[in-house]
Amino acid sequence: MPDTKKYDRILDALQQLLEDRTIQNISVNDIAVKAGMGKGSIYYYFPSKESILDALIERNYEKPLKTAKELTGQTDISPFTRMAMILQACRNSSDAFLNQNHRNAEAGTSAQDIAFLHQKYMNHLITELKPSLTEIIKQGISAGDIDFDYPAALAEIVLIVLVVKLNNTFLSATAEDSEETIRGLVALLEKGTGVPRGTLNYLTPPAAGT
């Protein structure tokens, strides 16, 4: 049975190495040395360096994913409230990611590495959150609260906009610009799903200065 402490030591080792070295310049052997174990032990837990990086990203942002999966089963809560809670989880995850990026940049991590990590982060978050958000939208459709024919597509569109805009890495923008984009997304959601205008107001971020 895999040792969870050793598993976490491997991820901790890569996290520490990323603070002052590029991804390309980190080998599996480097990770093994940093973790204080043999290279063969690394391959017992992970088939490649890429898989270690994927596991590190998954661990760093597991909280919003856990929140989303728990919300899927809480059908006593309205789908809109659960969507708002997932949005907040995305924001929290985004803050954590940006803080880590800032620390990496201060430590000398290249912009190329940070962009690479961001791409993997976005892919992971969208892929993992999409099934939960899709299920919540389907529940809203079944209950008659939402009128929409493509729940999976809607979930993906919402997540792509949120993850890209909130992280502000590929599209540099002010906080006000990001808020306006999210408000526009909410307006489209209301119009496209047939809910009364203002129903999803609590999905939007607070206005600047409030």
Tokens of 119: 């791409």
- φ and ψ of 102, to 5 deg: -65, -45
Q: What is the pLDDT of residue 60?
A: 74
The whole-number pLDDT of residue 100 equals 67
What is the rounded CA–CA span in Å between residue 25 and residue 126? Answer: 28
Over residues 98-137, the pLDDT tens digits come to: 666 666 666 666 667 767 777 787 888 888 889 999 999 9
CA–CA–CA angle 77, 78, 79 (5° rounding): 115
CA distances from 32 to 19, 24, 72, 87, 124 (A): 16, 16, 39, 37, 25
Nearest to 92 by CA among 140, 163, 152, 44: 163
Give the pLDDT confidence score for residue 208 in this predicted structure: 44
Which of helix, strand or coil describes residue 12?
Answer: helix
Contact call for residues 182 and 204 (beta carbons, < 8 A): yes
- Residue at token pair 């985004």: 94
pLDDT tens-digit profile, the chain (210 residues): 467 889 999 999 998 888 778 788 899 999 999 999 999 999 999 999 999 988 988 887 777 778 888 889 999 988 888 887 887 777 776 666 666 666 666 666 666 776 777 778 788 888 888 999 999 999 999 988 888 899 999 899 888 887 776 665 555 566 677 778 778 878 887 888 887 777 766 566 554 444
Rounded Cα–Cα distance for residues 208 and 60 (Å): 29
Helix (H) and strand (E) counts in the chain: 9, 0
Tell the residue number behind the tokens 């661990």, with chain if given.
59
Residues in the chain, total = 210
